[in-house]
Amino acid sequence: MQNYPGKFIVFEGGEGTGKTTQIKLLEKKLQENGFHVFLTREPGGTNVPLAEKIRIMLKDPENKNMCPETELFLFLASRAQHVQRGIVPHLERGDVVISDRFFGSTLAYQHFGRGLFNIEEVKKINDFATGGLSPALTLLLDIPPEKGLERIKENIHKDRLDSEALPFHQKVRQGYLTLAKTRSNWAVIPADNTIETVFNQIWDKVRETVNLN
Ligand SMILES: Nc1ncnc2c1ncn2[C@@H]1O[C@H](COP(=O)(O)OP(=O)(O)OP(=O)(O)O)[C@@H](O)[C@H]1O
Ligand SMILES: [Mg+2]
């Protein structure tokens, strides 16, 4: 893994687990502590227009006949552009980069959720896309999917990726927990708590990662 002066932090978890809410709080807290923060998200990426175009294709409900291989390669194409044109330049500058989803989502949704692809093969092509970039910390916000989906029910069914049935989301959640068990730089954060309680647990982990006492 490359060594950059900046730190790369990723938020993972199902729909409505509170990723966006917590990321905004974390951005503010880090800025108060003097850090430069680059907030971004997948698919797509902040100020990465080509990756954002791929995001639109992935989300478009008209693309409902997209085959799984096409979906996987579009995610990885978006990620390659995001890493090289968005994330890495900020890490080189010493920023804290926070991404709403990254490779964990590919494994949780494409492998565990859809039950497709050999996990080692997906890792290999992902490493090819990212040059092996791996987050210093992945925060997994965990909540039973029915509770997460309840939180966002007004916005649901608007795009191709959010409109899957509950059993799919349960497989995604279990997949995420399996990934977290075998990876030392992942932290599982119980997300069925107040926004403040969830944030305090996140901040404890992030402080260690950015070397704040
Ligand atoms: N700890 C919490 N308790 C109750 N409600 C919450 C909590 N955290 C977030 N919410 C609310 O739940 C909804 C979803 O939160 P948020 O958008 O942060 O989740 P998300 O993981 O980013 O969802 P998505 O997958 O749709 O991007 C929002 O209305 C938010 O205000
Ligand atoms: Mg969100």
Secondary structure of residue 47 in the 3-state scheme = coil
- How high is the pLDDT of residue 82? 98
Report how far apart the first and last C-alpha atoms of the chain are (Å, whole number). 25
Q: Contact 88/80 with Cβ under 8 angstroms?
A: no
The model's pTM? 0.95
- Mean pLDDT of residues grouped by 10 in the chain (213 residues)? 90 97 98 98 98 97 94 97 98 98 96 93 96 97 94 75 83 98 96 98 98 87
- How high is the pLDDT of residue 159? 72
Q: Contact 120/1 with Cβ under 8 angstroms?
A: no
The DSSP element (H or E) to which 53 belongs, if any, is helix 49-59
- Cα torsion 92, 135, 172, 13 to 10°: value is -80
Give distance in angstroms: CA of 25 to centre of ligand 1: 12
Residue nearest to atom 1 of ligand 1 (CA): 195
Give distance in angstroms: CA of 16 to centre of ligand 1: 5
Pocket of ligand 1 contains residue 80 by CB under 6 Å: no
- Residue from 11, 21, 40, 147 whose mutation best tests the ligand 1 pocket (most atoms within 8 A of CB): 21
User: Six-digit token pair at 58?
Assistant: 């992935």
Compute the radius of gyration of the chain from its Cα atoms: 16
Residue 105: nearest ligand to its CA?
Answer: 1
Residue nearest to atom 12 of ligand 1 (CA): 151
- Residue from 149, 152, 154, 194 whose mutation best tests the ligand 1 pocket (most atoms within 8 A of CB): 152
- How high is the pLDDT of residue 135? 98
- How high is the pLDDT of residue 8? 98
Give distance in angstroms: CA of 191 to centre of ligand 1: 9
Q: Contact 87/123 with Cβ under 8 angstroms?
A: no
Domains and CATH numbers, the chain: 7-209 (3.40.50.300)
Place of tokens 């191709």: 160
Q: Contact 129/123 with Cβ under 8 angstroms?
A: no
DSSP 91: H
User: Six-digit token pair at 88?
Assistant: 């890495």
188/173 Cα distance (integer angstroms): 11
